[in-house]
Amino acid sequence: MSDIVIENLHYAYPPLMPGGEPVVALRGVDLQVEQGEFLALMGRIGAGKTTLCLSLNGLVPHATGGIIRGNVTVLGRNTKTQTVAELSAQVGLVFQNPEEQLFHLRVEDEVAFGPENLGLPREEIARRVTWALRAVGLEEFRQRSPLTLSGGEKQRLAIAAVLAMRPRILVLDEPTASLDPQGAAEVFATLRELRQTMPLTIVMATQDSKWVAEQADRLAVLDQGRIALLGRPDELLSQVERLHALGVGVPQVAEAAAQLNARLGTAFRFTRLDEAESVLADDLGHISAT
Ligand SMILES: Nc1ncnc2c1ncn2[C@@H]1O[C@H](COP(=O)(O)OP(=O)(O)OP(=O)(O)O)[C@@H](O)[C@H]1O
Ligand SMILES: [Mg+2]
C-alpha cells in the first residue's frame, strides 16, 4: 500500500480580506507516493508546492481553514479525521528557513523537544537525541547553540529535530532555498545517507534541479494547482523547453544537451554530469575512431 494517497484534492485558502474570494491553491491533485520513495515537487512561484506539503501533515486545512475537497490518506488514514499532532508523529515537516524552526539554546535541546512533547521516558529521549544527531552528522555539536551553526548545519539540525519523532515520512518545503551551494549539498548528502539506513519516504519541494536529477525517484511538476508532469527525473528534466514554460529550471548539463542538439542535430538527453561525461566520452571516442 502507498504511504501517501492523494485523490482529487482541491483546496482554497480563506479570503485574504473580509468579503473577498477564497484563494484557490490546489485544483484536483491525484498522487501516490510509495514507501521509501523520494518524490520531488517543482513548479513556479504560487504553483501550490507549499500547500501540497502542508496538506500532508494536516496543517492544510486544520490550521489554515479554507475549503477542502477530495482526500489525503497518509499511512492508511484520512488526514480529515486526524489531528495535526497525530499526523506530525508520522509526517515530519522541514521548512525553508531553518532559523524559523529553531528555538532552543542548545542543539540537543532542539532535538529533545519533539520526543519530550510525546511524553517519552527520559532514557528513550536521550537515545533518540543521540541517534538523530548522529544520523545528520551533528553529534559533536550537541552542546553548541544553534545560532553558531552554518546554514547547512542549521537545516541538518532541523531535520534531526523532526527525525527524533521517528516519522515514516519526511516532507521538506524548499529546505535549501536559503542556503549556499555548500549548505544545499550538505542537506542532500544527509538525505542520501538517511535513505540508506532507514525506510524513509521523502516528499521535497525544491528548485534544485541538479539534485533532483541525482537523487529523486520521481518528479511531479505543479502548475496552477495541478500536476502538469509526473515521471522519472531523467525523462522530465531533459524536456528543457517544456520545463521552462512551466517555470522550472533544469540542470546545467540538460541545458548543454539541448544546445548541442540544436547546433549539431544530436539527440542527447542527459540530465546528470556523470551521464553527460560517459555519453560524450562514448560519442567522442566514436568520432575519433572514424
Ligand atoms: N495563507 C494563504 N492565504 C491565502 N492564499 C495563500 C496562502 N498561502 C498561499 N496562498 C496562495 O495559494 C497559491 C499557492 O501557494 P503556495 O504557497 O502553495 O505555492 P508555492 O508553489 O509553494 O510557491 P512558492 O514558490 O512561492 O513557495 C498561491 O496563489 C498563493 O498566493
Ligand atoms: Mg512554497
- Residue-wise pLDDT for 24-54, tens only, equals 999 999 999 999 999 999 999 999 999 999 9
Which of 44, 51, 221 has most ligand 1 atoms within 8 Å of its beta carbon, as the pocket-test mutant?
51
* Residue 269 predicted with pLDDT over 80: yes
Is the shortest distance between the CB of 61 and ligand 1 below 6 Å? no
DSSP state of 224: T
Rg (alpha carbons) of the chain, rounded to whole number: 21
pLDDT digits (tens, 9 = 90+) for 210-248: 999 999 999 999 999 999 999 999 999 999 999 999 999
Give the span between the Cα atoms of 81 and 52, in whole angstroms.
18
pLDDT digits (tens, 9 = 90+) for 195-213: 999 989 999 999 999 999 9
Tell me which residue range forms the domain holding 90: 4-250
Q: Which pLDDT does position 201 carry in this prediction?
A: 97
Grid-cell match 555519453, residue found? 279
Asked whether residue 273 is assigned to any structural domain, the reply reads: no
CA angle in degrees (0–180, nearest 5) for 158-146-100: 55
**Which atom from ligand 1 is nearest to the alpha carbon of 43?**
21
3-state secondary structure of 207: coil
Q: Which pLDDT does position 105 carry in this prediction?
A: 92
pTM of the prediction?
0.95
Asked whether residue 289 is assigned to any structural domain, the reply reads: no
Asked whether residue 26 is assigned to any structural domain, the reply reads: yes
Asked whether residue 287 is assigned to any structural domain, the reply reads: no
Q: What is the mean pLDDT of the chain?
A: 94
Residues 6+ apart with CB under 8 A from 243: 221, 229, 236, 237, 249, 250
Name the nearest CA neighbour of 238 among 290, 278, 276, 207.
276
Is the shortest distance between the CB of 60 and ligand 1 below 6 Å? no
Asked whether residue 8 is assigned to any structural domain, the reply reads: yes
Residues within 5 Å of ion ligand 2, judged at the Cβ atom: 49-50
Q: What is the CATH number of the domain that holds 150?
A: 3.40.50.300
Count of structural domains within the chain: 1
